[in-house]
Each structure stands twice: as structure tokens, then as C-alpha cells.
A and B are shown apart, each in its own frame.
Chain A
């Protein structure tokens, strides 16, 4: 059994700050190691276990990067599995209709 993974938002003013925080950590940086921009800051979500988060917060406290734990991503994902279709809902349907409004 592996530890649950948490979604963590990192905020910084510069790419260099984020890199100096993340270099050598080998954390899960989401789909690709890219930042998003907003409110004059750079942000990236990373995924880590609570022990990993504790180590980061201790060892890199003075880096100028704000660390916010958003959610337990494993727990959210498990809950979301209830929103996946079961069986084959399309087996008796003649058509599959998309979400776009045809007009």
C-alpha cells in the first residue's frame, strides 16, 4: 500500500526561485514541468506524499516559494471513480451525442 499523494501549489516570483526549490527533488510535476501565470506570480502544482511535503517545508523554508497543500489527490481520485461509467452504456444505443449545441 503506497501513501496517498497530495496536490500542492507552489507560488513564486520567478522561474529561478521555483527551480531552486525543485531542483533535485524528483517530485511529480503533473503532466509536464510547466508553470502557469496569474496575479503577477508563477504557479505550478506538484504531487507528493505528506512525508515528502514535510521534508520540503523543512529543508527549503527560506526559498521564497509559497507552499499550499490543496487536497489529497488520491482521495479525490478515489471519490471520482464513482463518476466513471460502469459496464458499457453505449452497447444498446444507436448514436452518441456530443455536448455541443447544434443550431
Chain B
């Protein structure tokens, strides 16, 4: 094998859907990409259980991170084949029993969107390997080099970083359309790829968990990414404009509110994922809050978790980012090992998620 190209990713999803009727749904994302590509997601879950709680897993948001889309296609293929054959699954030393696979496939909806940014992936795989953003030319009056928006800075969560963050926070974001990495775009969710992810979360209102798979650190991160967390003051939150201009420094008085029970649930899920990753290949990933060296704005994981605070009718979505592997484009043989550890971690996550009780609606604070 070798890395899947963008045509093959979509073909794989179509093949898996066609060969697994009754437990898959091929989802056509509503927005074609700027270069005209049709994106697909694949929902795994029994047709007669369409309201089971859902975990939405995305990959390929950043073009140069080649492993995550392949990992999610592999995950889909493995789950479906093992379920059909009534077997378990093994990745390295991490074993899942047939009952585990049955529990995941029959007890959850697993919505996989492996390649959010196919235009960027195609460009990275055929032209500039270090390309990160999408391929939309936002401003035609600028130099032709000024192409692309960072999808993972384009979501509607503290998107207007100049207003929301402290000037000296060095937030990882830029409003320069020529910035080669972290241009946030002309408006929140301005990008068709971003809108596709938002649509997917809207389409599956029973989503309770969201994982965005990137590369690399390696690490598993949980929300929030824009400042250190705190569990005692609900008013100190991204919703409160009184704190605009104060966020993102770290080690100061502003910290972002997160309910204690959510922290505990995130810890439980992340620990389960990381334990399986370690068992699969012998080395654990780091596991911590995603705010680290510098804050981030407009990211997918923070957006997914923020939705129930912004609109009480939205279900709570516990969110993670996985930064898999140790390089953007490892040799394929190494990529296969990263795929195995990612698959092991995600299945363990799904099993842990099945055991968790998530409040039905609205913020918990």
C-alpha cells in the first residue's frame, strides 16, 4: 500500500458503504470544495438505531498531515469487516473482543469525515508538500501566492482574535491573507470545508463526542485551547465580553471555565484512548489540555464543545484533538504503525464513551 490520494479516500468510503448496507450511511457533504471536489462522510451504526449517541471524528483538516485520513478510512474498514465476520480486532498488543466491536458498531453512531480539506491534501501530495491550508484564493487583488485559509482557525469560537485575546498572548492566528500557515479567513466559518464540519454536527444532533485527528506531537488534547482551565467561576468564560482583551496569556488571573464533571469525563475518555495507544505500540502519547505554549482561536475542538454554551438546545459535545505520530509525512511503513495506534485509541475511546452518561441538553453550569 501507500498513502491514499484524495480520489481514493472518497472511493474507499463509497466502497465501504456499498458493501455494508444496513450498518452504514454514505453522507454527501453539502458544499463542494473551492476546487469542486465532493466530500463524503461515512456513518457507521445500525439503520434501525439512528438516534444512538454519536461520535464525530474528522481528519485531514491540515493538508500536510497525511496520516489522519488514512487512519480514519482504515478504522472504518476494520470495524465493518470485524463486525461482519464476528471477530475481534488486534493492533499490536491491543486486542478488542468481538463483543467490543459489536458494542461499538451497534451501540453508537460513528460518523467519520476522513478528509475535510481534499484540495489542500491534493496540493500537498502533488506540489508543495508542506502546504497546510485549503486552496481558496480569498483576495484576488493580492499576490497569487496569497492562497488559502487555515480551516482549524476558521471556526466560530473566539474567531476575532484581536478582540478576544490579550495583545501580548501571541495567539496562534493571523488576519493576514498572505500568512502561509494560520490565516483565519475573512469571517468565521467562511470556508466551505469549515461549513461542512458544522453541517455534520448539526445533522447529527445526538453527537456527544468529537475528535479531530491531526499530526503530530504525539499527544491527545482536550478542550480548551485558548487559556488555562478553571472549574470555579462560570462567569469567566468565552461568552463574557468583559474579559475581551484578557485571554490567552496563561498564568494570570483569566482562566476559562469548564465544569468539573466535564473535566472528569474528558480525563476518563482521554486516559482510555491513551492506554490503548500505549498497548498497541508500547509508547503513550502526552495527554493534557490543549492550551500549551500559545493559545489558539477558531479551532474545531473548541467550537464543538462551545456549541452547547452558546445555544442551550445543542447537546454537549466533549471534544478532543489527537496529534498522532512523530512527523507530518512518515515513510509509509511508519505511517502504518501510526494508523494502528490511532485505530486502537479511537476504538478504546468509543468503548469508554459507551459507558459514559452525558446530560441530554444544555450547559451544565
Contact = CB atoms under 8 A, between A and B. Distances in A.
B277 interface: no
B219 A36 contact: yes
Interface in A1-57: 2, 5, 7, 15, 18-19, 22-24, 26, 28-37, 44, 47
Contact of B292 (A2, A7, A33, A101): A33
Given A23-B170, A90-B8, A84 B293 contact: no
Contacts of B343: 98-100
A58 interface: no
A62 interface: no
A47 B130 contact: yes
B226 to A, nearest CB: 12
A80 B3 CA distance: 9
A15 B293 contact: yes
Nearest to B5: A85
Contacts of A91: 11
B273 to A, nearest CB: 16
Contacts of B217: 30-32, 34, 36
A44 B293 contact: yes
A83 B74 contact: no
Instruction: Identify which of A5, A80, A96, A97 gathers the most chain B CB atoms within 10 Å of its CB.
Output: A96
B77 A73 contact: no
26 contacts: A2-B145, A5-B130, A15-B293, A26-B174, A30-B217, A31-B215, A34-B217, A34-B219, A34-B290, A73-B328, A74-B130, A78-B129, A80-B331, A84-B4, A85-B2, A86-B5, A87-B7, A88-B5, A90-B11, A93-B15, A94-B15, A96-B73, A98-B77, A98-B343, A102-B87, A103-B89
B323 A98 contact: no
Contacts, number: 164
B172 A32 contact: yes
A31 B214 contact: yes
B91 interface: yes
Contact of B129 (A36, A77, A95): A77
Interface in A56-84: 73-74, 76-78, 80-81, 83-84
A97 B221 contact: no
A29 B343 CA distance: 26
B85 interface: yes
Given A33-B294, A100-B343, A83 B2 contact: yes
Contact of A34 (B125, B221, B328, B329): B221
A15 B288 CA distance: 15
A53 to B, nearest CB: 15
A15 B250 CA distance: 11
Contacts of B254: none
Contacts of B215: 31
